[in-house]
Structure 1
Amino acid sequence: MTIGTVKKPKVVISNNLVVFGGSNQNWLPAIECAGWLCHRCYDLRTAETLLLEIGPCIGVVDLSHDDFSIHGFSVMVNRNKQVRWIAIVRDEQLVNEAIGQFIVNFCLDYFSVPIPPEQLLQTIGHQIGMLNLERQVWPQLGNFGQQGLQGSTAVMKKLRDQVKRIALSDVSVVISGEIGTGKILVADAIFKASARAKQQVIRVNCETMTADWMIDTDNGTQSIFEAANNGVLVLEEFTLLTDACQQSLYQVLADGRYCDTDGNTLSVDMRVISLTHHSPEHLVTLTTLRRELYFRLNVVSITVPPLRERSNDIIFLAEFLLLKYARQYNSVAKYLSEQAQSMLLQYPWPGNVQELICQIKRAVLLAENKCIEADQLDIPRLIDDKLSLKKVREESERNALLTVLENNKGQISAAARELGVSRATMYRLLNKHELIPPSRCFRQSHA
């Protein structure tokens, strides 16, 4: 009697086709008749939500009508590398430098209008076959974008349960957590699981917000409350709002109304999700935060656990990230050595998941062999047992800042965005560790 291993069934990617932009696509009926499930979307937020839900799939972007920003779409495409894109253009558009660069950088193929359905069907059929082959070669590679909510530890199971329950309601939420814990991922998860998932989500950098709450949108200068009406308003580092901003926001939330630029009073219905690196205990002591606004925002609160409290998840996350970035950067790296894993487990991770991402990404980019060794990780060695935890964390924090500055070529604004903190917080951290870069070395961005 021969005992063999039972083969797991292969995960086959469904024939999902995401079509962005354009109208009156006369080739769509032929594609649908061939068994493809076609999803139409016309704005970036809808597209991003849809792509995260579907996972690996084929995308067709119709550039022929010039009805959206190619730059904005490029940013979204760059975040969703699990999608294989095919472009539709007019012949005369191929001389446009921006469109040409987009097709070369992000698309596997392009078609000129009018579209030959048979050729398009053959192309997308081949690409879904490539995706299935890729999934077979990389079986552990899941959907991107949610690594901050993954994990099997009790604190992460509790967090996911809180997200599910809170998403079903429509109350205001405060999400607190240390730098790099993934607060924005939690906010996105609440939004996507809520009844407002198909509406707008507006993110606000509270440090730069003015008391009139006006922003520049594709529709011109617009009130944030108008843009977020019926949707969700996400306040990033809400404790940095000026007193005037806090006062005007409180008035809008209390009255459920705001005045537009023409002086008209309009009703507003929006859910507010507020993010902060301050602990709940520290929030109630902040003298710069209006009590009445805080209690209106903090109907329910969530604390995202730091990575050091999720030690059983560290190797799981590291291996997930290794597979992700090895694929993205076409690296030979496949696994972590035992010594590398031990080092990851001993490190206190002051920069949390974001710092782990930076470490793995750097190791993958520099890898020359399949195995990533401990000396390829830019992590301080914890040799002196007498070294205090405070000193270890300070050294770790300093190294995390150096890493993120290096990743962003010294641009402080970009580094702050990667860490998920405001520029003011970034400058405070850099000053603390005497890392303010001289202008001749680093160019600061004020974008």
Structure 2
Amino acid sequence: MGMDARKDIWHGELVLLGGHTIPWLNALKQAGWICHHCHDLRAAETLLLETGPCLGVVDLSHDDFSLQAIASLVNRHKQVRWLALVRDEQLSIESVCQFIVSFCIDYFTSPIPESQLLKTLGHQRGMLTLERKVWPKLGHFGQQGLQGNTPVMKKLLQHVKRLAAADMPVLIQGEIGTGKEMVAEAIFQASTRAKGRFVAVNCSSIGRSWAMKGSESECCFEAARDGVLFLNEVTSLPQDRQQELVQWLQDGRFTKENGSEVSAEPRLIAATHYPLDTLVSEGRLSKALYYRLNVLSLTVPPLRERGDDLLMLADALLLKYARQYNCGVKAFSDNARQAIATYNWPGNVQELVGRIKRAVLLTEQKNIEADHLELPRQADDKQSLKKIREESERSALLSVLENNRGQISAAARELGVSRATMYRLLNKHDLIPPPRDLGQNS
């Protein structure tokens, strides 16, 4: 389906919840609208996730659903522009009035004035057209390492799409290396924040202030003002930084060290691989921050739970890096695919990326063989947590060195460590550059 056709369908879709014989629904269909009539909220949930931004009409006049259930559904789908249909006497019910004011752009009472309703729907369709121009990626996102057709990945993609539409803090959990930052970027790209900045901060490197690296005057809240602030390993924050974060989440204000006040309101997405309940019970995570963060959450599944999607992701990464490095590698051999499918991948996506990238760079053949991936033998597969962490650390060092073209000082600044610490880490993982590089001004 071409992009223009997709836009036409997107702007002309309407979901009706409840109600019985609806004459104006036929008029809309004749005018080219795609109309869905749902009498079941679970079916509506699935439909709204698949449809994305559209118009929604809630028929409250027949009391088909409880108002609480409807409110819960509508609140989860902020990408939909909702209208309500009610009886005159329902306007004396406080809860009905509250629902309309909180969630709907307009309402109509029975008997429904068909011409006026159709005119309103047509106007809202025009508003959706304008929104599409302003936020062209709303409800849509690139693959971002989230390829998959298995139930576990479909569930993750549904969660990403749903959370993108809700402009609220999100907590992403998952093992080391599962791609939590990629998921955060996917949420960002599919949201109304996509025209702003995506600012990623490693909380383990935050010290006495929230200042951005290389800037004493700008804090990360300012840098992500209209976009998304991604706090990786948020549970590593010191207690005083946790208190400041809670305060900012409460009133949207932050006072910098120089006394100036910042009132920027970026969307917060936080991530951690630690179990939050344990950290709260140990006193390492404040209860106030826990309750503020753990409202909208999702868990990124490890590679070992992704089934056939693992090979789909591996193929996508192979194509990406073969193009990036202009290599002649075309595919994985059968034995390499078998090795990828049977390996446990304790380092998850980070480990997969590292091994495929290395194989692409070092292989002179058209096919990558199992030996090129240098995977541990199955007998050695029970790796310790320490080894897993070291593998992830090494992968991160390789990535940051590549991003900074081998410049040690620049890589150290990006990681938020001193040059001496950077050399210690490089020595630890046997990554010290050749002598000719050591003489460069890094």
TM bucket normalised to smaller: 0.5 to 0.7
Asked if the contact 1:147/1:317 (under 8 Å) is kept, the reply is: no
The Cα shift of 1:340 comes to 1.0
Asked if the contact 2:145/2:182 (under 8 Å) is kept, the reply is: yes
> Where does residue 303 of structure 1 map in the other structure?
299
> Where does residue 258 of structure 1 map in the other structure?
254
Asked if the contact 1:412/1:423 (under 8 Å) is kept, the reply is: no
Asked if the contact 1:201/1:232 (under 8 Å) is kept, the reply is: yes
> Where does residue 244 of structure 1 map in the other structure?
240
> Where does residue 187 of structure 1 map in the other structure?
184
> Where does residue 198 of structure 1 map in the other structure?
195
> Where does residue 171 of structure 1 map in the other structure?
168
Amino acid paired to 1:155: V
Q: Distance in 1 between matches of 2:244 and 2:171?
A: 19
CA distance 1:216–1:379, change in 2 (3 Å): closer
The Cα shift of 1:159 comes to 0.7
Q: Distance in 2 between matches of 1:279 and 1:267?
A: 31
CA distance 1:415–1:155, change in 2 (3 Å): farther
Q: Distance in 2 between matches of 1:340 and 1:329?
A: 20
Q: Distance in 1 between matches of 2:327 and 2:431?
A: 34
CA displacement 1:348-378 (0-9 Å, x = unmatched): 1011111111111111112122122112221
The Cα shift of 1:164 comes to 0.7
> Where does residue 149 of structure 2 map in the other structure?
152
> Where does residue 328 of structure 2 map in the other structure?
332
**Secondary structure of 1:214 counterpart:** coil
The 5-angstrom pairing of residues 228-243 of structure 1 reads 228-243=224-239
Asked if the contact 1:410/1:437 (under 8 Å) is kept, the reply is: no
Amino acid paired to 2:295: V
Asked if the contact 1:359/1:377 (under 8 Å) is kept, the reply is: yes
Amino acid paired to 2:173: S
> Where does residue 370 of structure 2 map in the other structure?
374
Asked if the contact 2:228/2:268 (under 8 Å) is kept, the reply is: yes
1:347 to 331, 343, 346: 343
> Where does residue 289 of structure 1 map in the other structure?
285
> Where does residue 217 of structure 2 map in the other structure?
221
How many aligned residue pairs are there? 292
Q: Distance in 1 between matches of 2:283 and 2:146?
A: 32
**Secondary structure of 2:329 counterpart:** coil
CA distance 1:440–1:334, change in 2 (3 Å): closer
- 151-160 vs 259-268, greater mean Cα deviation: 259-268
Amino acid paired to 2:224: A
CA displacement 1:375-432 (0-9 Å, x = unmatched): 22210122x4xx6x64487766666655665675897995998xxx9989xx9xx99x
**Identity between Structure 1 and Structure 2 (%):** 45
CA distance 1:371–1:278, change in 2 (3 Å): same
Asked if the contact 2:235/2:284 (under 8 Å) is kept, the reply is: yes
Q: Distance in 1 between matches of 2:261 and 2:329?
A: 59
Asked if the contact 2:177/2:392 (under 8 Å) is kept, the reply is: no
Task: Show structure 1 runs of 5+ residues with no match.
Answer: 1-8, 13-143
> Where does residue 359 of structure 1 map in the other structure?
355
Q: Distance in 2 between matches of 1:223 and 1:178?
A: 29
Q: Distance in 1 between matches of 2:245 and 2:321?
A: 41
CA displacement 1:215-273 (0-9 Å, x = unmatched): 3578x712333333343221111111111111122222223323356645554433211
Amino acid paired to 2:269: I
CA distance 1:341–1:195, change in 2 (3 Å): same
Asked if the contact 1:171/1:300 (under 8 Å) is kept, the reply is: yes
Which of 1 and 2 has greater Rg?
A: 2
TM-score, scaled relative to structure 2: 0.56
Asked if the contact 1:168/1:194 (under 8 Å) is kept, the reply is: yes
**Secondary structure of 2:171 counterpart:** strand
CA displacement 1:103-162 (0-9 Å, x = unmatched): xxxxxxxxxxxxxxxxxxxxxxxxxxxxxxxxxxxxxxxxx9744211112111111100
Amino acid paired to 1:167: A
Asked if the contact 2:200/2:231 (under 8 Å) is kept, the reply is: yes
CA distance 1:244–1:285, change in 2 (3 Å): same
Amino acid paired to 1:335: A
Amino acid paired to 1:288: R
Amino acid paired to 1:184: E
- RMSD of equivalent CA atoms: 4.1
